[in-house]
Structure 1
Amino acid sequence: MNVPQEEIHGRWRRVREEMADAGVDVLVTGASAQMEFRGALRYLANYVLPVFEEYLVLPLTGAVALFTHDAAGADYAARYGATDEVRIVPGHEYNSDPGRCVAEYVRSFGPGRVGLAGQAGLSANFYLSLLRHLGGVAPVDFTPRMNRVRRVQSPLEIRLSEAAVRLNEETFRHYLQFVGPGRRELDAIAAASRFAAEAGAEELYWMAASGPLPRLAYLADARQRGHVWCGGDYHTIVLEHSAEGGYFGETTHLISLGDPDPRYVRAFAAVGEAQRAAAARIRPGATVGELADAAEAVLIERGYARPRGAGEPPAAIGHGQGADVWEFPRIVSGDATPIEPGMRFNIHPLAVLEDGARITSCDCHIATQDGSRRLSTLPYEIAVV
C-alpha cells in the first residue's frame, strides 16, 4: 500500500513542529536494514529500505531529500516514495565517505543547528563522515523527539496497525491446521509464510520452539533442530509480520499437542490476567510504567515472578510497534512517559516456572480518549491441537 502523500506531509509537519521547538534547522536521519530501525524511512518517505544504509534530510523549510545507495533505490523512491528530491550517494564514496553528500546538502541551507535522529540504526562510518563534513560540530540528538512524534499514531496508522494484527492472527489460525503429531515444524512455518505473503505481508518474522517445555527460541534454532512434533509437545510461536504500509503486528501464543499440563494452564491464565491488568491502566494521564507495575504485581502474586531486589533493573513487559517491529515506549516499571490517545502497546509479560518453562503471549492495544481498545482477538487460553 502506498501511504497517501497527505499522511506523509502531516508527519513532516509534526516533526517540523518539534524541530522548531528544539531550535533545529535541518534534521538528518536514516537507517540500515534492521527491522527495529529502518521504519524511519518508511515513516517519513514511504520508502522500503531493502539492504544498504540510506539517509534522509528534512529541513525546517525546503525540500526533503532521500539519499539512496543506487539507481534501483532511487527509481523505487521516485515511483512510490514521498520525498521532494531523490539523490544517489556516489558509488565511490558509499563505503569510504558516505556522509559527504548528505552534509553538502545540509550546508546548502546555510548556517544553522543540525539534528540527528536514529543513531542506533546508523553506522559509525556514516556518523564520522557526516561529522567531518559538518566541520566537526556534532549534531544535537533529536531521537527522543522523533520517538515522541512516532509513538502517537494517526487515524490512518491505527487502521494500519489493526490490519497488521489481523493479518498475523489470520496467519496463526491458518498455521494451526499444519500443527500435529508426525508433522514437521519448519513445514508448517513454510506453509503459513506462503499464506501470509499471499495475504499481503511485506516482511516475515518468526520465532518458534517445540518440545516438552514451553520456551522461546529464534527461527535459526528451529532450522537447526528440524523438529517433528509428537503428542505431549508444547510449541511457542511468535509472528511479527508487517502488512499494509509496512506496519507490524504481533501474535505470540502457546500451542499444546494434546491436553496441557494444569500447571501450564494456570501459568498461561496468569499471563492473561497480567495483560488485562496492564491494559486496565491504559488511559490518558497515566504513565507507561504503571502498566508494567500492574502486570508484575499479578505475576508476583501468582508465584511466577519474584519481587526485585534493591538496585535490580526491572524487566520490560512489552513495547510499542508501528513501522518498526519494536518501537518506544518500552513498557517497563518506572517509565514516566505519559499515555496519550493513539499510543500502541504490545503487552507480553513472562511467567517463569520452577521446571524451566517460560510462558508468554502477546496482547495488542491502542490507547483511546478514555481507556484502550484491544486489537488482538485470540482467547486468553492455550491453543490445543
Structure 2
Amino acid sequence: MSQKEQRLRAAQAAATAAGLDALLIPPSADLQYLTGYDAHALERLTLLVLPADGEPTLIVPRLERPAAEAADPHGVRIVDHVDGSDPYELVSAAIGKADAVGLGNRMWAEQVLALRAALPSAEQRLAGAVLAALRVRKSPGEVEALRRAGQAIDAVHTQMGQWLRAGRTENEVAADIAAAIRAAGHATVEFTIVAAGPNGASPHHGTSDRVIAAGEPVVVDIGGRMPDGYCSDSTRTYCIGEPPAEFAEYYQVLFEAQRAAVAAVRPGVTAESVDAVARDIIAAAGYGAAFLHRTGHGIGLDGHEEPYIVAGNDTPLEEGMAFSIEPGIYLSGHHGARIEDIVVCTSSGVDRLNTIPTELVIL
C-alpha cells in the first residue's frame, strides 16, 4: 500500500471515530497531504470526497483533470465537471446518504453554502481537528523534508551581510533575499519580513521603502516552500553597526529565553509549558508586555499548523511534532527583536532544524 493510500485509510478511520460520514476537502495542505495534489483554489469546485467507508472521489474541473492525474492520487477516483454544470450533484452522488460531514477548515463560504443545499440532511462540522491529529506527528520522511527546508533557509541567512547595510531600503534588501530563497532550492517565496529600526517593533511589518540607517537593529523573518511542499521559516535579528545599549540588553534576555524554550522541548511536556519558559524569562527582565505573540506554531505542508506553542494549549508534545520557537521583544516606536528556529520533538528531547547561531549578528 502506498503512503497516499495509508493516509487516506487513516483519515477514513479518523472520520469514523469522529462520527462523520465523509470528509470534504478543498484545495489545501490537507488535500496535498492525502492525495499529493497541490491544487489551485478556484471558483470552479475542486473537492476530495472521502467517505468514512467507501471509495474516495476527487472532483475537479475538466480543465484541471490533467494536473490532478499527474499528481497520481493512488486509490482515488477522479471525476470531472464542465463549465456550466452543477458539480455539487457529483458530491451528493459520491457520498450517498450522510448525517454528518466534515468540511475543510479553509473552504470558501460559497462552497460551504452550496454543499449545505446539496446535502440538506447532513450536519456540517469542521474536518480540521480530524486531520490535524494525523498531520501533527511528522514521519521520519517529513522530518527530513523539514530539515532540508531549514538548511535552505539557513543558507540565505548566512548571506545577509551581502545585502543588509545602511543606505538601502527594506524593499531592496527583501528583493535580494527573495532571489536567494529561490536559489537555495525553494519553489516559492512565502514571505520576506525586513523590519528596520522602529518597524522592528511590528512583528508582521513586512517591508517598505524606508531607508535602513546605521546603528539600527533589523528583524529578518523569511520563509519559502520547497518543491515537495514542506515549508521553511526562520528569523534572525541583525544590527547595522554597534547596537543601542537598551537593545543589546534586551536582546540578551531574548537570546536566553529562546535557548531555554528550545531546551525545554521533550515528549510529555505541554505546549503551554514551553511557551511559559520563554515568557517567564522575558517577563522577569521587565519585558513581559513587549512579548506580543505566542512562542510558536507547527509547520509542515502549512506554514502555520498544529501544534501551537501558546498559553492555554495543554496538548502534551509527542515525538514527531514540528514547530517554531520564536519569542520576541518589541518596543513600540524604537525597535524590536525576534529569534526563530524550527524544532522537532524527538524520543529523547529536541532536534533543532535551523542550525545557524542565534546570537545577535552585527554587520
Aligned residue in 2 for 1:149:
134
Alignment: residue pair count: 359
- Residues of 2 paired with 1:194 and 1:354: CA distance? 31
Aligned residue in 2 for 1:24:
20
The secondary structure found in structure 2 opposite 1:259 is coil
Aligned residue in 2 for 1:34:
none
Which of 143, 146, 155 is equivalent to 1:158? 143
- Residues of 2 paired with 1:183 and 1:213: CA distance? 15
Q: How does 1:23-172 map to 2 (within 5 A)?
A: 23-31=19-27, 38-52=28-42, 54-71=46-63, 73-83=64-74, 84-92=76-84, 99-107=88-96, 111-119=97-105, 121-172=106-157
Q: Give the Å deviation of 1:245.
A: 1.4
Aligned residue in 1 for 2:304:
326
Q: Give the Å deviation of 1:135.
A: 2.4
Residues 27 and 114, structure 1, Cα contact 8 Å, conserved in 2: no
Residues 98 and 125, structure 1, Cα contact 8 Å, conserved in 2: no
Distance 1:230 1:142, change over 3 A: closer
The secondary structure found in structure 2 opposite 1:342 is coil
- Residues of 2 paired with 1:130 and 1:348: CA distance? 39
Residues 247-301 of structure 1: per-residue CA shift (max 9 Å, x gap): 1111111111111123222322222222222223322222111111111111111
**Structure 2: which 5+ runs fail to align?**
none
AA of the residue aligned to 1:13:
R
Aligned residue in 2 for 1:238:
221
The secondary structure found in structure 2 opposite 1:162 is helix
Aligned residue in 2 for 1:369:
347
TM-score normalised to the size of structure 2? 0.89
Residues 182-228 of structure 1: per-residue CA shift (max 9 Å, x gap): 33433332233223223331221222222356334657x52xx3233
Residues 183 and 229, structure 1, Cα contact 8 Å, conserved in 2: yes
AA of the residue aligned to 1:281:
A
Identity, % of aligned positions: 25
AA of the residue aligned to 2:90:
C
Aligned residue in 2 for 1:292:
275
Aligned residue in 1 for 2:288:
305
The secondary structure found in structure 2 opposite 1:235 is strand
Residues 104-149 of structure 1: per-residue CA shift (max 9 Å, x gap): 3222xxx344431422x11121111111111242234332121111
- Residues of 1 paired with 2:310 and 2:204: CA distance? 23
Q: Give the Å deviation of 1:244.
A: 3.7
Aligned residue in 2 for 1:343:
321
- Superposition CA RMSD, Å: 2.5
Distance 1:173 1:68, change over 3 A: farther
Residues 99 and 121, structure 2, Cα contact 8 Å, conserved in 1: no
Residues 20 and 52, structure 2, Cα contact 8 Å, conserved in 1: yes
Residues 8 and 44, structure 1, Cα contact 8 Å, conserved in 2: yes
Residues 26 and 113, structure 1, Cα contact 8 Å, conserved in 2: no
Residues 268 and 359, structure 1, Cα contact 8 Å, conserved in 2: yes
Distance 1:287 1:99, change over 3 A: farther
AA of the residue aligned to 1:77:
A
AA of the residue aligned to 2:69:
A
- Residues of 2 paired with 1:174 and 1:117: CA distance? 43
